[in-house]
Amino acid sequence: MTFTNPVIAGMHPDPSVCRVGDDYYLACSSFEYFPGVPIFHSRDLVNWEQIGNALDRPGQLAMPPGTPSSGGVYAPTLRHHDGRFWLITTNVAPGGGSMILTADDARGPWSDPIPVPGIGIDPDLAWDDDGNCWCTYAGISQIRLDPTSGRTLDGPHRLWSGGPHAQAPEAPHLYRIGDHWYLLIAEGGTERGHAVSIARATSPNGPFEPCPANPILTHRGSNRPIQNTGHADLVQGPDGSWWMVLLAVRPGGGTPGWHVLGRETFLVPVTWTDGWPVPGDLTLEMTAPWPVKPPAPPRARDDFDDAELHPRWISVRSRPAGSWSTTDRPGWLALHARGPSLDNPGVTFIGRRQQHPSCRVRVLLDPGAGRGGLAVRLDERHHYELEAGDGIVRVTARLGSVLHTATTRPLPAGPVRLRIDVIAAAEGHWHPTQGPDELNLGIETPDGTFQTLAQLDGRYLSTEVAGGFTGRVIGMFATTGTVLFDWFDYEPIR
């Protein structure tokens, strides 16, 4: 059966996967967004449904305003051991650090964090037959850990750090497979030089013998449409075959190639030769040797009829209870302003990851006496927004140190439909300076007519321009007073 990569599109990097019977569970990084660490479930490794977030209570995750964009929650490892789910991750924020959470059900509730002091990012958990818990982290170093208390019992010890002079050895995962312990890592940095390498030993703490074919997977220096391949995790498929989930990007446009959706989760088959894993060809169209049901079409509209928000909705650093409501006006999402603009790290914002190169996003908004609207956000210094209020609608672009008002338009009082169309650059018309996409921002009339107010170049909302580790998030915001949203539509265009 064929399937399409990425299997989890949009900003879902650093995937970690575990199998429990016939079920698969996967966790990803979430950076400065709350709730943190999205949790997914699948029965076939291909079709994934988000079932929650591990860090969904303010008491579990503190990201104060001083937390930088692309700070926050990095690279979780998700494992199932002794009847429980275990998750270890790092909050790269003032007062943060590494932590362990547990749950009987991956849907939650997850426990309060257990601090694990003194270790680096990208921590991994593995247990040996004697019950020892080994925590391996970026560097690559390892400690023996009491996972119930977070206390170090032995170490740290240096293990193996990839190829000679390799940049950024990170993302370790340790496995017992057959007679060997395998140490899978990423190296080369998470940009175009990203790669997957592996070593093995007869003991979980080495000494490790590197695979002679390292790196076992990389697309660096190639013209493939999938780039930045790395940060992988091994798992067995429903038929017992081996597979690997990993992060990668889909750059677009001319030179240097801009990726705007962030780092996404891909799936690639693995075979074994002479006791070493050999990843297959990683492409956009793949074949699975087991039945894969066509994915159910996602629901385009959220009417905000439920008391709680779907776990896909994320906010910047926090989401205080007083900043939003679905009961102030039943069937509407009310946002109460906390900051004057999207430049502010505490702005009231609720959005979702952009998951398709071309998509259409619409909202029905009643600004009342407030101001707010629809925005495409990469970070505080890179965002586009449509803002309605005070009788006008305004298109604004924040490009680093430049704040530009592209246009304003008078508006009558009452609800208004705001719309953003993201149109990816056409294939087959490459030009060295062509951007990855174009964003058309405007108003939609009740009969569906789109009145474009501004056309903005998408390259400025890309990682190659802004830096960092995240991708675009499209959502609703309030900058003054209370703003009400009746519904939010997200639809892929192609």
| Residues 353-378, mean pLDDT to the nearest whole number | 97
What is the maximum span of the chain, computed from C-alpha positions, in angstroms? 73
Which domains are delineated in the chain?
2-287 (2.115.10.20), 301-492 (2.60.120.200)
444 a catalytic residue: no
d(CA 335, CA 324): 5
Instruction: Kindly name the residue from 170, 380, 421, 457 that is annotated as catalytic.
Output: 170
What b/e string do you get for 365-377 counting C-beta neighbours within 10 Å, with b at 16 or more?
bbbbebbbbbbbb
Beta carbons of 231 and 210 less than 8 angstroms apart: no
Q: What per-residue confidence (pLDDT) applies to 401?
A: 97
Per-residue pLDDT of 406-465, as tens digits, reads 999 999 888 999 999 999 998 877 788 999 999 999 999 989 999 999 999 999 999 999
d(CA 490, CA 494): 12
Per-residue pLDDT of 408-417, as tens digits, reads 999 988 899 9
Q: How confident is the model at residue 388 (pLDDT cuts 50, 70, 90)?
A: very high
What is the token pair recorded at 332? 């509407």
Q: What per-residue confidence (pLDDT) applies to 430?
A: 75
d(CA 325, CA 309): 9
Q: What per-residue confidence (pLDDT) applies to 428?
A: 75
Rg of the Cα atoms in the chain? 23
146 a catalytic residue: no
What is the token pair recorded at 312? 């896909």
Q: Residue 184 CA to chain centroid, in angstroms?
A: 21
d(CA 334, CA 341): 17
65 three-state secondary structure: coil
